[in-house]
Amino acid sequence: MRTRLHLIPGWKGLLALALPVFIGAGAVVGAWFYSSSGSAGPAPQANPPAASLELPLPSGLLVDVVGAVARPGLYRLPRGDRVYNAIAAAGGLTARADPTRLPNLAGRLKDGEQIKVPFAKGAPGSTVINRTSLNTASVDELTLVPGFTEAFAQEVVDYRTNFGGFQTTSELVEILGMSESDFIIARRYLTL
């Protein structure tokens, strides 16, 4: 004997209304999944790297050539290359280079190495650092030192006046509380 399944009275009308709603909702959900999977590409880069820091293709050794060369920068060179190859890749020596203080040109390159080509002393473009004396400089002179604000320069002068001067430049960190990062830069410009 077969029994008939009876649903809610008037179920055919309810089915006629609900079926299109369920099909439409399924189509919307399917379209959303389809569109979200298609747009999952790489995220756009907000700030492109500076042109001078572009890395060459990743094969071989990466070396940094700085100093008195025509085109300082990062270069990829084959394994086994020598220092002279790195200098040649950077455009060779400039007229301001000091040939008596060059690095070992026959040395083998290592990945991540920095090749420094020194400038000749007194050559235009060579770096000459004027040092400022902590024990005699005025506030205006001290504010020219990287890492010194006008307020910190005044603290230096006040300390020097009250306690007779500095014994070492590291007292800027130990006594006056200068940050280590500022001190690392400033110490190149200071003397006692």
pLDDT digits (tens, 9 = 90+) for 87-107: 888 888 888 888 788 888 888
- Indicate the DSSP class of residue 119: B
Q: How many CB atoms lie within 10 A of CB 150?
A: 11
114-126 mean pLDDT: 73
Residue 116's alpha-carbon distances to 33, 72, 79, 119, 160, in angstroms, are 55, 10, 19, 9, 38
- Does 23 have pLDDT greater than 80? yes
Percent pLDDT > 90 in the chain is: 1
pLDDT digits (tens, 9 = 90+) for 56-85: 556 788 888 888 888 888 888 888 899 989
Residue linked to tokens 């509380």: 177
Q: Quote the pLDDT of residue 7.
A: 58
Asked whether 120 and 97 are in contact (CB, 8 A), the reply is yes
d(CA 85, CA 96): 19
All structural domains of the chain, each given as residue ranges with its CATH number in brackets, are 53-117 (no CATH), 132-191 (1.10.150)
- Does 47 have pLDDT greater than 60? no
